Structure 1
Amino acid sequence: VAAGAPSVGIKASNGVVIATENKHKSILYDEHSVHKVEMITQHIGMVYSGMGPDYRLLVKQARKMAQQYYLVYHEPIPTVQLVQRVATVMQEYTQSGGVRPFGVSLLICGWDNDRPYLFQCDPSGAYFAWKATAMGKNYINGKTFLEKRYSEDLELDDAVHTAILTLKESFEGQMTA
């Protein structure tokens, strides 16, 4: 996970930004087939650092959990509840026989009750709320940069700019749009 693509999450006063490096290992990749940032519901998004196939499985399960919640309660799942449920699945895989733990860390962001949320979920199933964080390759440089740049009253536009600059801190090679 620490060697995965760098990912950043920043809570702003009026939203949440999640961003990641989208560098392809080959020019033969169809760039539209690889989705590193995914919408789970209309108000919850997710990004990862680590193994792509594990991430895709967790995205599928998270969407299913959100749909099941909606069918029962007729309202969108709160971000905190989705994080808890995804973390439970990840934790179960650490102690079940015949399966390996997920090789992925997640940043899950959401907007509930006019308030932004940002959580990091580790392969162990532990989850933490953050104001801003970085994970993946060179995450220490990213976190140090965020500690210097983050403020509570950050607007969404400034958070996007800060996320790009944070990714630049850990990016190897030329950065493009």
Structure 2
Amino acid sequence: VSAGAPSVGIKASNGVVIATENKHKSILYDEHSVHKVEMITQHIGMVYSGMGPDYRLLVKQARKMAQQYYLVYHEPIPTVQLVQRVAAIMQEYTQSGGVRPFGVSLLICGWDNDRPYLFQCDPSGAYFAWKATAMGKNYINGKTFLEKRYSEDLELDDAVHTAILTLKESFEGQMTA
């Protein structure tokens, strides 16, 4: 997971930013077919560092959980509850026989009750709330950079700019957009 693509999450006063490197292993990839940042519901998003297939499975599970919650309660699932449920699945895979733990760390962000949320889920199933964080390759440099740049009253536009600069800190090679 710590060798995966760098990803960044930053909570702003009026939203949340999640971003990741979008570098492909081959120029033959259709870049529109590979999604690293996914929308789970209207107000919850997810990004990963680690193994793509594991991420896609967890995205599918998260969407299913969100829909089941909506069918029962007729309202969107709170971000915290979705994080807890996804983390429970990840934790279950660490001690179940015949399966391996997920090789992925997640950043899950959302907007509930007029406030932003940002969580990181580790492969062990542990989850943490963050104001700003980085994960993946060179995450220590990213976190150090965020510690210097982050402030509580950060606006969304500034958070986007900070996320791009943080990715540049840990990005190997040419950065285009």
C-alpha distance in structure 2 between counterparts of 1:54 and 1:174, whole Å: 27
**For residues 7-56 of structure 1, what are the alpha-carbon distances to aligned partners after superposition, in whole Å with 9 as ceiling and x for unaligned?**
00000000000000000110000101100000000000000000000000
**For residues 74-113 of structure 1, what are the alpha-carbon distances to aligned partners after superposition, in whole Å with 9 as ceiling and x for unaligned?**
0000000000000000000000000000000000000000
* Offset, 1:169: 0.2
C-alpha distance in structure 1 between counterparts of 2:27 and 2:160, whole Å: 27
C-alpha distance in structure 1 between counterparts of 2:36 and 2:173, whole Å: 19
C-alpha distance in structure 2 between counterparts of 1:158 and 1:26, whole Å: 32
C-alpha distance in structure 1 between counterparts of 2:58 and 2:174, whole Å: 31
* Offset, 1:133: 0.1
* Offset, 1:5: 0.1
C-alpha distance in structure 2 between counterparts of 1:71 and 1:60, whole Å: 17
C-alpha distance in structure 1 between counterparts of 2:24 and 2:77, whole Å: 33
SS of structure 1 residue aligned to 2:125: coil
C-alpha distance in structure 1 between counterparts of 2:172 and 2:118, whole Å: 26
* Offset, 1:151: 0.0
C-alpha distance in structure 2 between counterparts of 1:25 and 1:63, whole Å: 28
C-alpha distance in structure 2 between counterparts of 1:172 and 1:38, whole Å: 23
What TM-score, normalized to structure 1? Answer: 1.00
* Offset, 1:159: 0.0
What TM-score, normalized to structure 2? Answer: 1.00
C-alpha distance in structure 1 between counterparts of 2:78 and 2:172, whole Å: 36
C-alpha distance in structure 1 between counterparts of 2:53 and 2:32, whole Å: 16
SS of structure 2 residue aligned to 1:100: coil
Q: What residue number does 1:77 align with?
A: 77
C-alpha distance in structure 2 between counterparts of 1:135 and 1:174, whole Å: 20
Q: Which runs of 5+ in 1 are unaligned?
A: none
SS of structure 2 residue aligned to 1:161: helix
C-alpha distance in structure 1 between counterparts of 2:24 and 2:90, whole Å: 27
* Offset, 1:131: 0.1
SS of structure 1 residue aligned to 2:137: coil
* Offset, 1:4: 0.1
C-alpha distance in structure 2 between counterparts of 1:173 and 1:66, whole Å: 37
C-alpha distance in structure 1 between counterparts of 2:119 and 2:17, whole Å: 12
SS of structure 2 residue aligned to 1:67: helix
CA RMSD for the aligned pairs? 0.2
Q: What residue number does 1:22 align with?
A: 22
C-alpha distance in structure 2 between counterparts of 1:49 and 1:142, whole Å: 14
SS of structure 1 residue aligned to 2:61: helix
Q: Which runs of 5+ in 2 are unaligned?
A: none
